[in-house]
Chains A and B, each alone.
Chain A
Amino acid sequence: MAMKFEKTGEGSYSLDVKGYVCPHPQLYTKSALMKMKAGDTLKLFFDNPSSGESIASMCDKEGDEILEQVSNGGAYVWTIRKA
């Protein structure tokens, strides 16, 4: 399935990188966050566990806040607020 990045509302975005393996999810997430403004939120859909570890470290380093982490049978939905 193809990557999908869309604006879902005022200041909220969605990035779907399910099906992708490293390094794509973290690269797309970084790229998406760079396109957003401070305070905007990103709903991130992915299913590559190792990318989660890298994305969490990346958010911690940049000061972006992970508001919610939902995991369901190897699929993940994270909500990230850009610093």
Chain B
Amino acid sequence: MDDAASKNRRWAFVVTGLFLAVSLGSFAVNELYIYLGAYLWFGFIYGMCLQYGRFCFSSAFRDLFAVGVPRMIVGIMIATVLFGLTASFLTATGVSLFHAAPSGIHCVIAGAVFGVGMVFSGGCASGSLYKAGEGNSIAALVVLSISVSQAVFVDAGGWLDKLVPASWHAAATARGLPASVTPGEGWVDQYLAGYVWDRPVVRFSGVLGLPNDSFPGAFVGNFLAGVLLPATALLLVVYVIWSRKGFLKKWKREGKSTGFKAELTGFWTMVMSSKRTAIAGLIIGVAAGLHMFVMKGLRLKFGIENAAEILKATGHDFGVTAVGTVYDPGYWYVTTQEAQWLGWVFNKLGWNNTHNIFFGLENGIPNPLFNLAGWMSISLVGGAAVMALLNNEFKWKKPTLELATWAVIGGSLMGIGARLGLGCNVGAFFVRTANGDASGWLFGLGMFGGAYVGVRFFKWWTERKMAKEMGSAAALQP
């Protein structure tokens, strides 16, 4: 092992040791903080898997349109199907923590805004976190932009209020929310309380007329109809459009006859085209289900419903919501905690941002050190850093003005899209589709369209720069 590799290995142990110290130290202070440890270590696992598999939801859609590569959409579908299987078991046994979201056209629009943003920035919300762990400062800038744009957007009013339909305003103010919350002010508040909350929640179990918390509802409705069939159909479409032609060309070149066997082999070859991505998808899918199971188990063991009870018990309950809760999804989520970090900073700088629904009623703005679910994202960066260090792939990357510009624009669009869709590529797409929530597929449809627009733009941009670069080299012209 050379010097650089052994140095990287030492740093990997240091980073792991730091997270071990946080989880053990907090547990030593109060056993309730094992809850923090659970979030932390699942985040760490997600980070390691994401980095190992180069697992980025942005890449799933973008690489299809940009370079015709389906490896990532395959990896994501593998993860979704496996998570769907474990999630269905949790739903059927009544221990699922999943909350379905309202479905409607807003999911598609939110996904589209998010989709454009993730192509511009070079990575989705979870992808940017893991790339930050590789030492990529541009990805860190994306994470910061997601955080800032969300924290600002959820409290933005003024001229934006003039764009709110009167019906949204009327419905929002008639909700009877706690007095400290002002649902009649701010665009996002009126969008949520005046529009989104009235949209129907659609789960595939319900569509088939099956009780959700039953084995038929969970496995036939949510899993088979809501996950397995759509995922398989999507992969077949991807195979036919992006993979089949190239595979059959190679197959024929080898003198083999075409037919059903060739198609089946072609499909399987596409699925296994990147073993790293497939393996990562497999582990993420299982870990995401296990994560929910562990969080539910801890809630039952300690008799708590929400992490705010832990913060109150340990005297760190600054920033809890008007109803005494904090953000505590109980499963993998990414963008909300990032908004909370900046929300807390802005609040400390004097911005009164606790009257809006997002911070004041739904999530709170706890100190980032005591934001238990927030540790999931911090450790995701750490897990990715450890994996990158162990594979000698960690490299500090300085931003250029061009990439920093795309990072800020893309990150901001992702932040806005995440708040419109009540989640990002993980919370609004991955988790919801795996749990048979139709809103997840609608968000995915929007991401697909948004990514297409983003790629069209970047193809034009790339060609323009290549043409400039080659302008003086006539010999390079085809």
Contact = CB atoms under 8 A, between A and B. Distances in A.
Interface residues on B, range: 35 or more
Given A54-B69, A61-B68, A71 B392 contact: yes
A26 interface: yes
Interface string A20-34: 111110111011101
A68 interface: no
Task: Enumerate the 3 nearest inter-chain pairs by beta-carbon distance, A residue then B residue, closest first.
Answer: A74-B395, A50-B54, A21-B122
B173 interface: no
B150 to A, nearest CB: 22
Residue among A27, A58, A63, A71 with max Cβ neighbours from chain B (10 Å)? A27
B462 A63 contact: no
A30 to B, nearest CB: 5
A26 B395 contact: no
Contacts of A50: 54, 56, 59, 127, 131
B131 A24 contact: no
A30 B135 CA distance: 26
Contact of B277 (A3, A53, A60): A53
Contact of A35 (B138, B276, B397, B466): B466
Interface string B237-262: 00000010010011000000000000
Interface in B459-476: 459, 462-463, 465-466, 469-470, 473, 475-476
Given A23-B119, A31-B463, A73 B392 contact: yes
A53 B62 contact: no
The DSSP consensus for interface residues of chain B is helix
Nearest to A50: B54
A75 interface: yes
Residue among A1, A3, A5, A73 with max Cβ neighbours from chain B (10 Å)? A73
Residue among B67, B138, B274, B463 with max Cβ neighbours from chain A (10 Å)? B67
Contacts of A53: 54, 71, 274, 276-277
A57 B271 CA distance: 12
A70 to B, nearest CB: 12
A5 B403 contact: no
Interface of A: 1-7, 13, 19-24, 26-28, 30-32, 34-37, 47-50, 52-58, 60-63, 71, 73-75
Contact of A28 (B69, B249, B466): B466
A58 to B, nearest CB: 5
A24 B127 CA distance: 15
B446 interface: no
Contacts of B459: 27
A27 B67 contact: yes
Given A23-B62, A32-B466, A74 B135 contact: yes
A35 B477 contact: yes
A28 B464 CA distance: 11
Given A50-B54, A58-B69, A73-B4, A7 B475 contact: yes
Given A5-B469, A24-B122, A50-B131, A34 B478 contact: yes
Nearest to A13: B476
A60 B395 CA distance: 27
Contact of A5 (B66, B135, B277, B466): B466
21 contacts: A1-B400, A2-B400, A3-B465, A4-B469, A5-B466, A7-B473, A13-B476, A21-B122, A24-B403, A24-B462, A47-B395, A49-B54, A49-B134, A50-B56, A53-B274, A53-B276, A54-B59, A57-B273, A61-B69, A71-B393, A74-B134
Contacts of B72: 54
Nearest to B466: A31
Given A27-B67, A30-B67, A21 B138 contact: yes
B59 A3 contact: no
Nearest to B391: A49
Contact of A19 (B67, B123, B393, B398): B398
A5 B388 CA distance: 28
A78 to B, nearest CB: 15
B276 A21 contact: no
B458 interface: yes
A24 B406 CA distance: 11
B58 interface: yes
Given A20-B403, A73-B392, A30 B66 contact: yes
A60 B273 contact: yes
B136 interface: yes
B399 to A, nearest CB: 9
B122 A22 contact: yes
